[in-house]
Amino acid sequence: MTALWVVVPAYQEAARIGDTLAALAAQTDRDFTLLVVDNGSTDGTAEVARSAGALVVVEPEKGVGCAVDTGFRYAIAHGATLLARTDADCLPRPGWVAAARASLAGGAGMVCGRITARHDEHGPWGRLFFAVLVGAAALFGWLRPAHWSAGYLTPYRMHAGNNMAVTAPVYLACGGMPRRPSPTDRTFLNRVRRTTWAISRNRAMVVENSTRRLRAYGVVATAKWYLDRGSGPLTADPR
């Protein structure tokens, strides 16, 4: 089968990454190489990942974009042709890898799935707010004039960075993930949109997303974040 790697950027996630790695170990499609990119953690993140059987590389340059780019390029250099990414505070559901592989094998250059809030972090109202926020961010991105400028090969649709997969040729052709702290997802998506029209969504690709930014930032600041206003004076990675 085609070589598929799953890349998980991680920073100070020793207390949480075990759940993510357990979710990946429970995938219905286990024919992949798991790579954790430790973004200079000091809390034993790398040790937890290694004990779970993951390959680990260290990227000391801070920023999730740096970690993802290093991980994807490492994977490609070691034979990966299909690349999937989730984050170290997320829980991919069991069919996640299989759905990603099916979309890429079916001709997609990039595919993203559906994100929903983790059930262990907030109650029903918190999860509802998260869903509304994601919907508002998607609508904002679709309406944003800059996303309809010349040069794009396909219309804008929000793709979550913690639930995406891409082929190695498309990743290299678009220039890769921007090497900087969050937010990086829109910039990367727009790079891909200038490279290929073959961008799809697969609703069977489901990741349960952490809502800790909501707890760390509060409602207003979280809304600004998801509407691409950045974190302001707040840290880009609320760990």
Q: Which pLDDT score is estimated for 183?
A: 76
94-151 pLDDT, tens digit per residue, is: 999 999 999 999 999 999 999 998 888 777 777 777 777 767 776 666 677 777 777 8
Specify the pTM.
0.87
Q: Which pLDDT score is estimated for 239?
A: 45
Positions of the chain with pLDDT under 70: 1-2, 134, 138-142, 212-239
Q: Which long-range contacts (CB under 8 A, 24 or more apart) does 24-28 make?
A: 24/86, 24/92, 24/97, 25/52, 25/53, 26/94, 27/92, 27/94, 27/95, 27/96, 27/97, 27/98, 28/94, 28/95, 28/97, 28/98
Q: Which pLDDT score is estimated for 165?
A: 98
Residues facing residue 85 across a β-bridge: 7, 164
Q: Which pLDDT score is estimated for 100?
A: 98
Question: Locate tokens 């040069």: which residue?
Answer: 151
Q: Which pLDDT score is estimated for 92?
A: 98
Q: Which pLDDT score is estimated for 170?
A: 98
Q: Which pLDDT score is estimated for 14?
A: 96
CATH number of 4-229: 3.90.550.10
Q: Which pLDDT score is estimated for 16?
A: 93
Alpha-carbon distance of 31 to 203, in angstroms, equals: 21
